């Protein structure tokens, strides 16, 4: 297993797919990385030479990934909570932040929790 950005990426998958195991790298970013390094997109991680793996590591280091990305997101949410914005209040309450309905969905985030079964009631 190759280590890139403190993440063990699978050896038997293509490089593009393996890079998506790193938090903050999706399909499009993985394709950009492979193109920037100049690798064959069909090449497997186990077939990479140490030099190619080093190039991939250097290219991934230019992106905000893993712990740094999580830290940035967490501080952004904390800032919203501190300034008392609408989104911050929703985060604080554990409710949907992006305008979803709450009267019939988001049962996990509601105070009532999951749907309760009522005796003798037909569906």
User: What does the DSSP assignment read for 68-84?
Assistant: HHHHHHHHHHHHHHHHT
Tell me, rounded to whole angstroms, the distance of Cα 43 from its chain centroid. 24
What is 2-66's CATH number, 1.10.8.50, 3.50.50.60, 2.40.30.10, 3.40.190.10? Answer: 1.10.8.50
Q: pTM, whole model, 2 decimals?
A: 0.76
Q: pLDDT per residue over 43-60, tens digit each? A: 999 999 999 999 999 999
pLDDT value at position 104? 76
Map out the domains of the chain as residue ranges.
Answer: 2-66, 84-123
Please give the mean pLDDT across all residues of the chain. Answer: 89
Q: What is the mean pLDDT of residues 71-80?
A: 97
The fold for domain 84-123 equals 30s ribosomal protein s13; domain 2 (4.10.910)
Quick: pLDDT tens for 1-19: 889 999 999 999 999 999 9
**Of the candidates 3, 39, 34, the residue with the CA atom closest to the CA atom of residue 16:** 34
Distances (CA, A) of 13 to 16, 43, 54, 95: 8, 8, 18, 38
């Amino acid at each position: 297993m190759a280590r890139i950005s403190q993440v063990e990426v699978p050896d038997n998958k293509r490089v593009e797919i393996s890079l998506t195991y790193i938090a903050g790298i999706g399909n499009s970013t993985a394709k950009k990385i492979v193109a920037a390094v100049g690798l064959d997109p069909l090449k497997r991680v186990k077939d990479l030479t140490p030099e190619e793996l080093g190039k991939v590591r250097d290219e991934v280091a230019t992106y905000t990934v893993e712990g740094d990305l999580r830290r940035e997101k967490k501080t952004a949410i904390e800032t919203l909570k501190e300034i008392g914005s609408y989104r911050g209040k929703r985060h604080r309450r554990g409710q949907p932040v992006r305008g979803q309905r709450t009267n019939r969905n988001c049962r996990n985030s509601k105070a009532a929790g999951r749907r309760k079964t009522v005796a003798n009631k037909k569906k």
